[in-house]
Amino acid sequence: MADDSQRTGLKGLPFTVIRIRAGDPIHPNMVHTGTGFFYRLDVGPHQVALIVSNKHVLTRKTWIEFDVGAMDGDRNRILGPATAVRAEAGELPIFEHPDPSVDLAAVPLNPITDSLEAVGKKPFALLLTKENLPPANIQSALNVATSVLMVGFPNGIMDDVNNLPIIRRGTLAMPYAANYRGSADIVIDIAAFGGSSGSPIFAFFEHIFPDDAGNINFMTRPLIYLIGILHSGPMMTAEGLIVPAPVPTSYQVARTNLMINLGYCAKAFRIEELAPVIESFGAAQTRIATSQQ
């Protein structure tokens, strides 16, 4: 039978993400790396499985490759090497957030898993959902110094033998209720490097939880909520200037810019704003199919 512990709490976090590699259109030998995570989105009456990441990870690439994990006969994740699935430019639809200032995009998961099932493989993906987003009472408890976890592949680093990501721990650098510089962003105090782009950020209440009245509640198990998606961070130039910049996806180029261990993250509820984009795409596909009949 399936091991439910693989799908809940801390044990499930490593299985929510997938490493992404992509080809550069200008420098053919350059390979960009980033992080994506699995998410099930309600689109009209349908549920759509997605790989969510950043626009700068998924768009304007010559090819994109995903490192997919496998499951055994009991539907448990196998700790073993990934199977790489490559899509050339234009082969997968990319659903970009409709706001140009929001660095958020997704691709459908089913074409990727279908290609593996067609050759007898059993892909594994642990999908996050709207239920993993923080409800109002949790949002009000997301104050400065709240612990956060980032799951991803900094500089493309991973446990290749077991297809496992790196999990880093930090804190909220500002209250969740505030919108950083007027955008629906949060700031986290964490080391973020190239390859971390697209990493899901989770609020993590390990042993205690403060309620709205300021009382401290002790818990028997941790509370984990998806609160953001890393997209950029401030960098210090060689001249000492502090400037915001996307977290780089390529780690093959010498740099004089230094990350200063802060990350800018889109609030996770913005994933839900992809639904109209996907619904419009589906409607357009239906019209095209109808017109060809």
Q: Residue 111 above 60 pLDDT? A: yes
CB burial of 69-93 (b: ≥16 within 10 Å; e: otherwise) equals bbbeeeebbeeeebbebebeeeebe
Q: Residue 279 above 90 pLDDT? A: yes
What number is the average pLDDT over the span 217-232?
A: 86
Closest CA to 227 of 133, 144, 146: 133
Distance in angstroms (rounded) separating the CA atoms of residues 250 and 57 = 10
Q: Residue 189 above 60 pLDDT? A: yes
pLDDT tens digit string along 146-155? 999 999 998 8
pLDDT band at 292 (very low <50, low <70, confident <90, very high): very low
- Position 195 scores a pLDDT of 80
Q: Residue 225 above 60 pLDDT? A: yes
What number is the average pLDDT over the span 49-67?
A: 96
- Position 223 scores a pLDDT of 87
All structural domains of the chain = 4-129 (2.40.10.10), 132-271 (2.40.10.10)
- Position 239 scores a pLDDT of 54
pLDDT band at 127 (very low <50, low <70, confident <90, very high): very high
Residues whose CB is less than 8 angstroms from the CB of residue 192 and which lie 6 or more positions away in sequence, other chains included: 150, 154, 199, 230, 233, 247, 259, 261, 262, 263
- Position 270 scores a pLDDT of 97
Distance in angstroms (rounded) separating the CA atoms of residues 173 and 234 = 13
DSSP assignment of 61-81, as one string? -SEEEEEEEEB-TTSPBP-S-
Q: Residue 171 above 50 pLDDT? A: yes
- Position 207 scores a pLDDT of 73
What number is the average pLDDT over the span 102-130?
A: 95
pLDDT band at 244 (very low <50, low <70, confident <90, very high): low
Reported pTM: 0.87
Q: Residue 201 above 80 pLDDT? A: yes
Output the average pLDDT for the chain. Answer: 86
- Position 21 scores a pLDDT of 95
- At residue 276, φ and ψ (nearest 5 deg) are -60, -35
- Position 119 scores a pLDDT of 93
Q: Residue 293 above 50 pLDDT? A: no
pLDDT band at 156 (very low <50, low <70, confident <90, very high): confident
pLDDT band at 68 (very low <50, low <70, confident <90, very high): very high
pLDDT band at 128 (very low <50, low <70, confident <90, very high): very high
- Position 110 scores a pLDDT of 95
Task: Flag the least confident range among 47-61, 145-159, 197-211, 235-249.
Answer: 235-249
- Position 73 scores a pLDDT of 87
Task: Extract the tokens encoding 227.
Answer: 């609160």
- Position 247 scores a pLDDT of 57
